[in-house]
Protein backbone atom coordinates (compact mmCIF):
# COMPACT_ATOMS: atom_id res chain seq x y z
CA UNK A 1 0.00 0.00 0.00
CA UNK A 2 1.37 3.40 -0.92
CA UNK A 3 0.85 6.64 0.93
CA UNK A 4 -0.55 9.86 -0.36
CA UNK A 5 0.99 13.31 -0.49
CA UNK A 6 -0.33 16.79 0.07
CA UNK A 7 1.99 19.43 -1.36
CA UNK A 8 1.42 22.95 -0.07
CA UNK A 9 2.97 25.80 -2.05
CA UNK A 10 3.03 29.36 -0.84
CA UNK A 11 5.36 32.24 -0.23
CA UNK A 12 7.31 32.86 2.92
CA UNK A 13 5.09 33.72 5.91
CA UNK A 14 1.92 32.75 4.03
CA UNK A 15 0.78 30.42 6.83
CA UNK A 16 1.78 27.02 5.46
CA UNK A 17 3.33 25.73 8.70
CA UNK A 18 0.20 26.50 10.72
CA UNK A 19 -1.96 24.77 8.11
CA UNK A 20 0.32 21.70 8.20
CA UNK A 21 -0.10 21.37 11.99
CA UNK A 22 -3.86 21.76 11.65
CA UNK A 23 -4.01 19.22 8.83
CA UNK A 24 -2.24 16.69 11.03
CA UNK A 25 -4.95 17.29 13.64
CA UNK A 26 -7.99 17.08 11.35
CA UNK A 27 -7.09 14.32 8.89
CA UNK A 28 -8.40 10.84 9.68
CA UNK A 29 -5.03 9.07 9.40
CA UNK A 30 -1.51 9.94 10.60
CA UNK A 31 0.42 12.23 8.24
CA UNK A 32 4.12 13.04 8.44
CA UNK A 33 5.16 16.64 7.71
CA UNK A 34 8.28 17.84 5.91
CA UNK A 35 9.11 21.39 4.96
CA UNK A 36 11.60 23.10 2.72
CA UNK A 37 12.74 25.22 5.69
CA UNK A 38 13.90 22.07 7.48
CA UNK A 39 15.71 20.98 4.34
CA UNK A 40 17.49 24.35 4.11
CA UNK A 41 18.38 24.15 7.82
CA UNK A 42 19.89 20.68 7.21
CA UNK A 43 22.33 22.00 4.60
CA UNK A 44 25.96 22.21 5.66
CA UNK A 45 27.06 25.70 6.69
CA UNK A 46 29.34 25.89 3.65
CA UNK A 47 26.27 25.74 1.36
CA UNK A 48 24.53 28.63 3.06
CA UNK A 49 25.38 32.03 1.58
CA UNK A 50 27.16 30.18 -1.24
CA UNK A 51 26.94 30.28 -5.05
CA UNK A 52 26.73 26.47 -5.08
CA UNK A 53 24.11 26.31 -2.33
CA UNK A 54 21.62 28.96 -1.29
CA UNK A 55 21.99 32.66 -0.79
CA UNK A 56 19.60 35.40 0.24
CA UNK A 57 19.73 38.85 -1.32
CA UNK A 58 19.25 41.97 0.81
CA UNK A 59 15.77 42.49 -0.66
CA UNK A 60 14.60 38.95 0.17
CA UNK A 61 15.58 37.36 -3.14
CA UNK A 62 16.50 33.65 -2.86
CA UNK A 63 19.26 32.39 -5.16
CA UNK A 64 19.95 28.66 -5.42
CA UNK A 65 22.93 27.00 -7.04
CA UNK A 66 23.65 23.58 -8.56
CA UNK A 67 24.62 21.95 -5.26
CA UNK A 68 21.35 23.05 -3.71
CA UNK A 69 19.36 21.70 -6.67
CA UNK A 70 21.14 18.34 -6.48
CA UNK A 71 20.45 17.94 -2.76
CA UNK A 72 16.87 19.19 -3.17
CA UNK A 73 16.25 16.48 -5.78
CA UNK A 74 17.62 13.86 -3.36
CA UNK A 75 15.42 15.25 -0.58
CA UNK A 76 12.34 15.05 -2.82
CA UNK A 77 13.21 11.46 -3.77
CA UNK A 78 13.56 10.61 -0.07
CA UNK A 79 10.18 12.13 0.80
CA UNK A 80 8.58 10.26 -2.11
CA UNK A 81 10.27 7.00 -1.01
CA UNK A 82 8.49 7.30 2.35
CA UNK A 83 5.22 7.72 0.47
CA UNK A 84 5.96 4.64 -1.61
CA UNK A 85 6.67 2.78 1.65
CA UNK A 86 3.15 3.62 2.88
CA UNK A 87 3.48 6.91 4.78
CA UNK A 88 1.06 9.75 4.18
CA UNK A 89 3.06 12.95 3.82
CA UNK A 90 2.40 16.68 3.87
CA UNK A 91 5.06 18.81 2.17
CA UNK A 92 5.43 22.53 2.87
CA UNK A 93 7.32 24.09 -0.06
CA UNK A 94 7.97 27.39 -1.82
CA UNK A 95 7.89 27.06 -5.62
CA UNK A 96 10.46 29.73 -6.43
CA UNK A 97 10.56 28.30 -9.98
CA UNK A 98 6.76 28.26 -10.35
CA UNK A 99 5.66 25.48 -12.72
CA UNK A 100 9.25 24.16 -13.00
CA UNK A 101 9.23 23.54 -9.24
CA UNK A 102 5.91 21.72 -9.52
CA UNK A 103 7.27 19.66 -12.42
CA UNK A 104 10.24 18.53 -10.30
CA UNK A 105 7.79 17.20 -7.70
CA UNK A 106 5.65 15.58 -10.41
CA UNK A 107 8.72 13.81 -11.84
CA UNK A 108 9.71 12.55 -8.39
CA UNK A 109 6.15 11.48 -7.48
CA UNK A 110 5.48 9.32 -10.50
CA UNK A 111 2.10 7.69 -9.94
CA UNK A 112 1.70 8.54 -6.24
CA UNK A 113 -1.58 10.22 -5.36
CA UNK A 114 -1.09 13.92 -4.61
CA UNK A 115 -3.26 16.86 -3.68
CA UNK A 116 -1.75 20.18 -4.82
CA UNK A 117 -2.57 23.08 -2.51
CA UNK A 118 -1.98 26.76 -3.14
CA UNK A 119 -1.61 28.76 0.07
CA UNK A 120 -2.17 32.41 -0.71
CA UNK A 121 -1.80 35.45 1.50
CA UNK A 122 -1.77 39.13 0.61
CA UNK A 123 1.73 40.59 0.35
CA UNK A 124 0.93 43.15 3.06
CA UNK A 125 -0.26 40.58 5.61
CA UNK A 126 2.62 38.20 4.81
CA UNK A 127 5.08 41.10 5.23
CA UNK A 128 3.59 41.85 8.65
CA UNK A 129 3.98 38.22 9.68
CA UNK A 130 7.55 38.28 8.39
CA UNK A 131 8.40 41.20 10.68
CA UNK A 132 6.68 39.51 13.64
CA UNK A 133 8.62 36.28 13.06
CA UNK A 134 11.94 38.06 13.08
CA UNK A 135 13.74 35.15 11.38
CA UNK A 136 13.29 36.17 7.75
CA UNK A 137 14.97 38.71 5.52
CA UNK A 138 12.68 41.71 5.13
CA UNK A 139 11.08 41.72 1.72
CA UNK A 140 11.03 37.95 1.17
CA UNK A 141 7.31 37.56 1.93
CA UNK A 142 6.17 40.39 -0.34
CA UNK A 143 8.50 39.26 -3.11
CA UNK A 144 7.19 35.68 -3.03
CA UNK A 145 3.48 36.31 -2.34
CA UNK A 146 2.35 36.03 -5.97
CA UNK A 147 5.34 34.80 -7.98
CA UNK A 148 5.34 31.31 -6.42
CA UNK A 149 1.81 30.73 -7.77
CA UNK A 150 2.37 31.87 -11.35
CA UNK A 151 1.73 28.96 -13.73
CA UNK A 152 1.15 26.42 -10.93
CA UNK A 153 -1.94 24.19 -11.06
CA UNK A 154 -3.79 23.34 -7.84
CA UNK A 155 -6.50 20.97 -6.69
CA UNK A 156 -7.48 23.41 -3.95
CA UNK A 157 -6.47 26.93 -2.95
CA UNK A 158 -6.80 28.63 0.41
CA UNK A 159 -6.12 32.21 1.44
CA UNK A 160 -4.79 32.89 4.92
CA UNK A 161 -5.12 36.66 4.64
CA UNK A 162 -8.34 36.58 6.67
CA UNK A 163 -8.90 32.83 7.21
CA UNK A 164 -7.53 30.88 10.17
CA UNK A 165 -5.23 27.90 9.63
CA UNK A 166 -7.77 25.42 11.02
CA UNK A 167 -10.43 26.55 8.54
CA UNK A 168 -7.94 26.29 5.68
CA UNK A 169 -6.99 22.79 6.87
CA UNK A 170 -10.64 21.72 6.95
CA UNK A 171 -11.12 22.96 3.37
CA UNK A 172 -8.06 21.00 2.25
CA UNK A 173 -9.15 17.89 4.16
CA UNK A 174 -12.36 17.79 2.11
CA UNK A 175 -10.18 17.08 -0.95
CA UNK A 176 -8.19 14.38 0.87
CA UNK A 177 -10.62 12.31 2.94
Residues tagged active-site? 37
3-state secondary structure of 157: strand
Greatest CA separation for the chain: 46
What distance lies between CA 21 and its chain's CA centroid? 13
> In whole angstroms, what is the distance from residue 65 CA to residue 81 CA?
24
Start-to-end C-alpha separation, the chain: 17
Which ranges in the chain belong to alpha helices (H)? 16-26, 36-42, 66-84, 99-109, 123-133, 140-147, 165-173
Question: How many other β-carbons are positioned within 10 Å of the β-carbon of residue 107?
Answer: 12
Amino acid sequence: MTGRLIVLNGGSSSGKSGIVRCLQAVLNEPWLAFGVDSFVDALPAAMQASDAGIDFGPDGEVIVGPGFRQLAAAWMDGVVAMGRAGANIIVDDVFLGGPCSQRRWEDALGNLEVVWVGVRCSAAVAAGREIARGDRITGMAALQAEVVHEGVKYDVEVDTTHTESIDCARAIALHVD
